[in-house]
Amino acid sequence: MPKLMLALDVLDESEAIKISEETSEYVDCIKIGYPLVLATDLGIIKRIKEKTNKEVICDFKVADIPATNEKIARLTLNYADGIICQGFVGLDSVKAIINVAEEYKQVGNSKKVIMVTEMSHEGAKSFMQPIANEIAKMAGKLNVDGIVAPSTRPTRLKELKEIANNAFVISPGVGAQGGDLQEVLKVLDENDYVIVGRAIYLNENPKESAKKYKELL
């Protein structure tokens, strides 16, 4: 049974707090990205953690040179329990983030580095899909904690999970993007996460929707 990760891409702090509190009974982890952080500030991570007591992962899909990745990771992991980065930028850029996470680990603060392999949208087929297996191999080599792989393509999800076999998978695409949850459940296990955003936070009753997804999982 995979876990449920809420993608909290709302643009208003009080709405974000309300939804995260209402759904926290059913949600295992909260993912926050540019929409909410840019609409508020980085401290929103801390405020949501305080209200919900959940792990918060920052989806910044960091994709820069090592020196800049390092700065972004240090600022982000000061608040978040984990950070999402892009793999296509190559080994040294991802390693720079892992090194920052290691520093936190050394002082007893566990931080997760999660690397995108192939994205869930249609456009990812053009440039990302042809190199995604190589990116997943790099995930294994670097020993990242987790990878992002698409629920919109369960066959690819299976392949990427197998290639990066020691990493857990967080998988977006169920709900608003039309991914088939039953197919996804054949691939993911108890270490993995199904990411659901709009199908929960845009529902007229986010709590009921989160409950439904938790039960389906």
Catalytic residue list contains 59: yes
Q: Which residue is catalytic, options 61, 95, 137, 211?
A: 61
Least distance in angstroms from the C-beta of 38 to ligand FNU: 13
Determine if residue 95 is labeled as part of a ligand binding site: no
| H/E segment holding residue 84 | strand 82-86
Spatial separation of the C-alpha atoms in residues 59 and 149, rounded to whole Å: 14
197 is in an annotated binding site: yes
Q: Shortest CA distance to 140 belongs to which of 91, 99, 104, 184?
A: 91
Which residue of the chain is nearest ligand FNU when measured via CB?
197
Tell me how far, at minimum, the Cβ of 172 lies from ligand FNU, in Å: 3
Q: Which is nearer to ligand FNU, 33 or 66 (CB)?
A: 33
Minimum CB distance to ligand FNU, residue 63 (Å): 11
CB 53 within 8 A of CB 27: no
**Residue 153, beta-bridge partner list:** none
Binding site for ligand FNU (CB under 6 A): 7, 9, 33, 59, 116, 119-120, 148, 150, 172, 175-177, 195-199
Q: Choose between 57 and 101: whose C-beta lies nearer to ligand FNU.
A: 57
- 81 labelled ligand-binding: no
Q: Is 70 left (phi over 0), alpha (psi -120 to 50) or beta?
A: alpha
> Smaller CB distance to ligand FNU: residue 90 or 178?
178
Place of tokens 């309300």: 18
Q: Which candidate in 18, 64, 158, 212 is catalytic?
A: 64
CB of 21 to ligand FNU, least distance (A): 19
Tokens of 11: 């643009």
- 182: number of Cβ within 10 Å: 8
Rounded Cα distance, 139 and 134, in Å? 9
Nearest distance, CB of residue 114 and ligand FNU, angstroms: 9
Query: What stretches of the chain show up as alpha helix (H) in DSSP?
Result: 13-23, 34-39, 44-52, 66-77, 91-106, 124-127, 129-142, 154-163, 181-185, 198-201, 206-216
Distance of CA 52 to the CA centre of its chain: 18
Instruction: Please say which residue, 146 or 150, places its beta carbon nearer to ligand FNU.
Output: 150
Structure tokens at 71: 């700065």
Answer yes or no: is 198 a known binding residue.
Answer: yes
Catalytic residue among 3, 54, 59, 111: 59
Asked whether residue 212 is marked as a ligand-binding residue, the answer is no
Binding site as annotated, residues:
9, 31, 120, 197-198
Binding site as annotated, residues for substrate:
9, 31, 120, 197-198
Catalytic residue set: 59, 61, 64
